[in-house]
């Protein structure tokens, strides 16, 4: 309750300020065709900040999460229409909007034959059945549109003990332990709707596909005419039947297991000591020679899934795109995931669209809004989009901003991104009030939760790095576009939950968000303001606010880790880090010199073409780290700094991974040759990147 009061005050002040700014702004008459603004207009920025409305975000969320909207379902298609309607609204829409559809391979449980997990007694009779649906606690967990919990892309089948004996494992049951998701709590009166914790019947759905993108059309857009890999040749699906269950059912199985005690780190909060099996213990609930029978009836289906795209045309540089997106599809109602992000997306597009339609403002560069389809199955809509428009996007996109779940919790901002976006996020968040108690900026609040000591800046909020958890993955890893993911999240001193507890369950509902995660929606508003400010700064600033020299810290830390943790090993195998040291130093020097040239130019009155050339250097820096031949076994991953790292040393991933594979082989092995190749790939990328930062007419 305290939160909403403070929020009410904050909103009032912001609204007044915004109104003043609007009046001030309109007092100076502007023609719609007046000369395009040269630079970020702080008055417009303030207007946007003031108009982003927590209440409207809440209403967006209520509508978006009213029904389950699984990818390609009728309700998912209804939301496509809702987005189109909003983005085509004459008073608050964008310049244009359209849906584009791909035909993609999804995986669903059978509606006729539910997936089944039973305990079968020695005579073949069913002694115990796991729940096939979640308990209808709030009235929203029932009905035909709530998809049965399942592991998407897990093959169908009924594993038999004979197979189990032969292959070791015949099927997999997955559950989330209350120790990991509920801070140990598990009883109904301690869980939703009585708290934010997961009810005992809650089951986390998910995609079990190893890669991302449509499984049948790697590197090709999944348009109907595209070549599709034969199903028999698809890789990345789980090899054996798999089914998720709730922790209530998991307790019934796990607490009755026989055998040796599981390791201490495997123990959880189900109220018993976990054992490894095989078989049930003789003094338990089931006869000792009972079996667990798992029947999975998942089906692969080619389905139409849509992206929705909308654009605000840039006034001066329409061929530079600031791309902002989130997925639309959910597992069930998906109030948090992803509708909290979509609610923000709609409010941002409304505020900007309104200014646009009034003729008050048009950005220097184009702003593209995207609502992706089928993300939950493996980032499919965004990946197909990048496959279809690879060159156009790679040539022209300034940055990609992702807001998926906008609010995990209401404690602090959390940003993942590549170094060039750090400074624009810092600039934005320093100017926005934090929704919490006290008079802190989002930046000042953020730094209390996530921080690091930067050799350049001192104590600053720390950005996380981008994995492949949401739709930014194809943009950063496949296209080399500077990307970020923005959300509000937890106070880690208050919970150790892996993620908000109802994640991917039928309990992720509007009320859940409204009551437990962000009452008053001030954190949604904070995310909207942060993203909005970042969008405006990227689209309107004369000089692109991408600070490429911030990559120097990353490179230096990767280099130091390589020297400290791999240097001796490499030396034993006569591999020198010298060329890498030189390359990092060259990058640092060129990035710093470019920064100085920009500073100098900013003091003068540079002409637009001059600035465009510098901006191209900034925009395209991230591309120089791509090498599509660096990791042939990794689908889509071409970024030599952010590819998946399996090696333990926090350095360049290719180097780290190759070293961890070579470690136990002799000098001269192919594994050590691969270490040298990976080192050369990184050195070439860094030298090439440095070359693009030099004055453009230097040889």
Contacts to a second copy by CB under 8 A: 95-98, 219-221, 223, 225-227, 229-230, 309-311, 313-314, 316-319, 366, 368, 387-392, 395-396, 576, 578-579, 607-609, 612-613, 616-617, 620, 623-624, 628-629, 673, 676-677, 679-681, 683-684, 687-689, 691-692, 695-699
Of the chain, the end-to-end C-alpha distance in Å amounts to 64
Nearer to a second copy, 296 or 619 (CB): 619
DSSP 61-115: HHHHTSS---TTSHHHHHHHHHHHHHHT-TTT--SEEEEEEEEEEEEE--SSS--
Query: Could you tell me the smallest distance in angstroms from the CB atom of residue 633 to a second copy?
Result: 13
Enter the DSSP assignment of 537.
H
The residue to which tokens 């309109």 are assigned: 26
What is the CB neighbour count within 10 angstroms for residue 648?
12
Task: Give the C-alpha separation, 93 to 85, whole Å.
Answer: 8
Task: Give the C-alpha separation, 16 to 529, whole Å.
Answer: 16
Query: Could you tell me the smallest distance in angstroms from the CB atom of residue 326 to a second copy?
Result: 17
Give yes or no for a contact between 116 and 381, defined as CB atoms under 8 angstroms apart: no
Going 436 to 437 to 441 to 447, the CA torsion angle's sign is negative
Nearer to a second copy, 415 or 690 (CB): 690
Q: For the chain, give me the number of helices (H) and strands (E)?
A: 20, 16
**What is the three-class DSSP state of 626?**
strand
Query: Could you tell me the smallest distance in angstroms from the CB atom of residue 99 to a second copy?
Result: 10
Query: Could you tell me the smallest distance in angstroms from the CB atom of residue 309 to a second copy?
Result: 5
The pair phi, psi for residue 96, each rounded to 5°, is: -155, 160
**What is the three-class DSSP state of 362?**
coil
**What is the three-class DSSP state of 402?**
strand
**What is the three-class DSSP state of 172?**
strand
Query: Could you tell me the smallest distance in angstroms from the CB atom of residue 622 to a second copy?
Result: 10
Nearer to a second copy, 517 or 611 (CB): 611
Q: Retrieve residue 501's tokens.
A: 């507890």
Looking at 375, 384, 590, 622, which residue is catalytic? 375
E runs forming strands in 418-482: 451-454, 458-461
Nearer to a second copy, 252 or 387 (CB): 387
Query: For 281-399, where are the alpha helices, taking DSSP H only?
Result: 340-358, 380-388, 390-396
Query: Could you tell me the smallest distance in angstroms from the CB atom of residue 681 to a second copy?
Result: 7
Nearer to a second copy, 521 or 625 (CB): 625
Nearer to a second copy, 62 or 313 (CB): 313
Nearer to a second copy, 460 or 679 (CB): 679
For strands 451-454 and 458-461, give the pairing.
Answer: antiparallel
Query: Could you tell me the smallest distance in angstroms from the CB atom of residue 200 to a second copy?
Result: 46
Task: Give the C-alpha separation, 555 to 214, whole Å.
Answer: 33
Torsion angle, CA of 213/404/476/365, rounded to 10 degrees? 120
Task: Give the C-alpha separation, 553 to 588, whole Å.
Answer: 9
Q: Retrieve residue 626's tokens.
A: 């791509």
Query: Could you tell me the smallest distance in angstroms from the CB atom of residue 96 to a second copy?
Result: 6
Task: Give the C-alpha separation, 643 to 117, whole Å.
Answer: 37
**What is the three-class DSSP state of 471?**
coil
Pick from 303, 324, 320, 317: which is nearest to 87 by CA?
324
Distances (CA, A) of 8 to 14, 531, 622: 10, 21, 41
Is residue 375 among the annotated active site residues?
yes
Query: Could you tell me the smallest distance in angstroms from the CB atom of residue 47 to a second copy?
Result: 23
Nearer to a second copy, 447 or 658 (CB): 658
Task: Give the C-alpha separation, 315 to 350, whole Å.
Answer: 19
Distances (CA, A) of 608 to 231, 316, 621: 52, 10, 20
Query: Could you tell me the smallest distance in angstroms from the CB atom of residue 231 to a second copy?
Result: 12
Enter the DSSP assignment of 502.
T
Nearer to a second copy, 169 or 696 (CB): 696
For strands 96-108 and 291-295, give the pairing.
Answer: unpaired
Nearer to a second copy, 159 or 314 (CB): 314
Query: Could you tell me the smallest distance in angstroms from the CB atom of residue 395 to a second copy?
Result: 6
Give yes or no for a contact between 533 and 52, defined as CB atoms under 8 angstroms apart: no
Nearer to a second copy, 8 or 628 (CB): 628
Active site residues: 375
């Amino acid at each position: 309750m305290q939160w909403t009061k403070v929020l009410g005050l904050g909103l009032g002040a912001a609204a007044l300020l915004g109104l003043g700014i609007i009046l001030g702004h309109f007092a100076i008459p502007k023609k719609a065709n007046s000369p395009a603004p040269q630079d970020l207009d702080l008055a417009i920025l303030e207007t946007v900040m003031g108009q982003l409305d927590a209440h409207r975000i809440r209403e967006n969320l209520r509508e978006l999460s009213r029904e389950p909207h699984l990818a390609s379902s009728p309700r998912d298609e209804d939301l496509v229409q809702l987005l189109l309607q909003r983005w085509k609204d004459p008073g608050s829409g964008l310049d244009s909007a359209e849906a584009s559809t791909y035909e993609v391979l999804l995986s669903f449980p059978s509606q006729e034959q539910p997936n089944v997990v039973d305990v079968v007694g020695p005579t073949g009779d069913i002694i115990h059945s796991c729940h096939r649906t979640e308990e209808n606690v709030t009235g929203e967990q029932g009905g035909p549109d709530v998809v049965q919990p399942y592991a998407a892309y897990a093959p169908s089948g009924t594993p038999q003990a004979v197979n189990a004996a032969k292959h070791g494992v015949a099927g997999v049951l997955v559950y989330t332990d209350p120790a990991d998701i509920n801070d140990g709590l598990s009883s109904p009166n301690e869980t939703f709707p009585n708290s934010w914790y997961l009810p005992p019947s809650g089951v986390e759905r998910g995609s079990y596909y190893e890669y991302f993108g449509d499984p049948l059309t790697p590197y090709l857009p999944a348009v109907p005419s595209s070549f599709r890999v034969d199903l028999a040749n698809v890789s990345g699906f789980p090899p054996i039947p798999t089914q998720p269950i709730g922790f209530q059912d998991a307790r019934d199985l796990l607490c009755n297991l026989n055998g040796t005690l599981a390791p201490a780190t495997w123990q959880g909060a189900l109220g018993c000591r976990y054992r490894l099996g095989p078989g049930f213990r003789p003094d338990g609930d089931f006869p000792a020679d009972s079996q667990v029978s798992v029947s999975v009836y998942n089906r692969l289906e080619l389905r139409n899934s849509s992206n929705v795209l909308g654009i605000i045309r840039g006034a001066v540089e329409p061929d530079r795109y600031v791309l902002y997106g989130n997925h639309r599809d959910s597992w069930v109602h998906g109030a948090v995931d992803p509708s909290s992000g979509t609610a923000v997306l709609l409010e941002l597009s409304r505020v900007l669209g309104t200014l646009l339609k009034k003729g008050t403002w048009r950005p220097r560069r184009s702003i593209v809004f995207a609502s992706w389809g089928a993300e939950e199955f493996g980032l499919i809509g965004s990946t197909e989009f990048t496959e279809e428009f690879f060159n156009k996007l790679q040539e022209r996109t300034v940055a990609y901003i992702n807001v998926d779940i906008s609010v995990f919790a209401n404690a602090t901002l959390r940003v993942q991104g590549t170094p060039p976006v750090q400074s624009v996020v810092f600039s934005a968040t320093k100017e926005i009030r934090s929704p919490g108690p006290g008079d802190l900026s989002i930046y000042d609040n953020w730094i209390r939760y996530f921080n690091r000591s930067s050799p350049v800046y001192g104590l600053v909020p720390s950005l996380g790095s981008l994995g492949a958890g949401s739709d930014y993955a194809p943009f950063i890893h496949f296209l080399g576009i500077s990307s970020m993911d923005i959300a509000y999240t937890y106070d880690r001193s208050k919970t150790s939950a892996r993620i908000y507890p109802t994640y991917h369950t039928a309990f992720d509902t509007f009320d859940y968000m409204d009551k437990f995660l962000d009452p008053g929606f001030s954190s949604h508003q904070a995310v909207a303001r942060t993203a909005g400010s970042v969008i405006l700064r990227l689209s309107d600033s004369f000089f692109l606010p991408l600070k490429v020299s911030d990559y120097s810290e990353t490179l230096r830390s990767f280099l130091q880790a390589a020297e400290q943790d791999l240097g001796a090993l490499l030396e034993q195998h006569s591999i020198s880090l010298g060329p890498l040291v030189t390359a990092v130093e060259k990058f640092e020097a060129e990035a710093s010199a470019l920064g100085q040239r920009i500073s100098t130019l900013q003091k003068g009155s540079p002409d637009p073409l001059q600035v465009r050339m510098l901006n191209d250097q900034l925009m395209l820096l991230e591309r120089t780290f791509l090498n599509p031949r660096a990791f042939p076994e990794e689908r889509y991953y071409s970024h030599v700094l952010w590819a998946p790292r399996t090696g333990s040393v926090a350095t360049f991933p290719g180097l780290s991974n190759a070293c961890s594979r070579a470690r136990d082989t002799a000098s001269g092995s192919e594994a050590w040759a691969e270490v040298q190749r990976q080192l050369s790939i990184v050195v070439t990328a860094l030298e090439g990147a440095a070359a693009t930062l030099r004055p453009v007419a230097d040889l």
